[in-house]
Amino acid sequence: MRRRIFYVEDDSVVREKYARMLKSEGFEVVSFTCKGEALISLRKEIPDLVLLDISEEGEHDAGYRLCAAIRRLSDEVPVIFLTNRQSEIDKVSGFRLGADDYISKDASTEYIVVRIEALLGRVDAIRGIGNKETTTPSVKNSLELDEVYCLVHWHGQHIDMPLTQFRILRELCLNPGSARSHHDLMKAANLMVATNTIAAHVKSIRQAFYSQDPEFHCIRTERGRGYRWIAE
């Protein structure tokens, strides 16, 4: 079955270029010229992946707004920014809003396709875990991870978390008390990114917990070593 991608890009030349490239690689692509059009369709259907730019004509942060709206509709659908905006603050902002990956438009076709396939593969892998006997690890009954639907609950309260951060959290909580390096967390999330990108993800994970529990303190930074999950 062909994977269905929603692609949002206001530049018609760029949109046609990447849509044609993705279709040639076997994907089904539904293209949109603006976030408003995309959001109407997203409310009716969640695709296998969403690909979007940060800016559109007349709206500097349209992609960020759409990403946040997508996360209100689905915690699970992978979201990738394909953009020319490459500053650190742009990347961190995207990840904080729930994006799973960030790719430059200068990247080669092969690289873009590999990143898309890798992210879709991680979704499949997480869903596949649900077929194992143990599907919901917990830490002292406070944290519950639903590995079938990639959901997080803390003291019974749902916490919104995108796929990449779910996998990082899973790596931490399945190794309680053990320091997990940036490399460990990258490997768990199948990412090859800068160390400060992992730090941004961990910060977003903490903030997600803080939104439900201001006293949350279970993720400890170990200077020079990484991060450690400390059970309550």
Q: Which of 26, 11, 200, 33 is nearest to 100 (CA)?
A: 200
pLDDT in tens, 83-141: 988 788 888 888 888 898 889 888 888 888 888 888 888 777 666 644 444 444 444 45
Q: Are 143 and 81 in contact (CB under 8 A)?
A: no
Q: Are 98 and 162 in contact (CB under 8 A)?
A: yes
Q: CATH assignment of 132-229? A: 1.10.10.10
Domain locations in the chain as residue ranges: 4-128, 132-229
> pTM of the entire structure?
0.59
pLDDT in tens, 177-210: 889 998 889 888 877 677 788 889 999 999 999 9
Q: 62 forms bridges with which residues in the sheet?
A: none
Q: 168 forms bridges with which residues in the sheet?
A: none
CATH fold for the domain made of 4-128? Rossmann fold (3.40.50)
Reduced to 3 states (helix: H, G, I; strand: E, B; else coil), residue 117 is: helix
**Those residues with Cβ within 8 angstroms of residue 161's Cβ, 6 or more apart along the chain or in another chain:** 75, 150, 152, 169, 205, 208
210/219 Cα distance (integer angstroms)? 11
Q: Which amino acid type is present at position 146? A: D
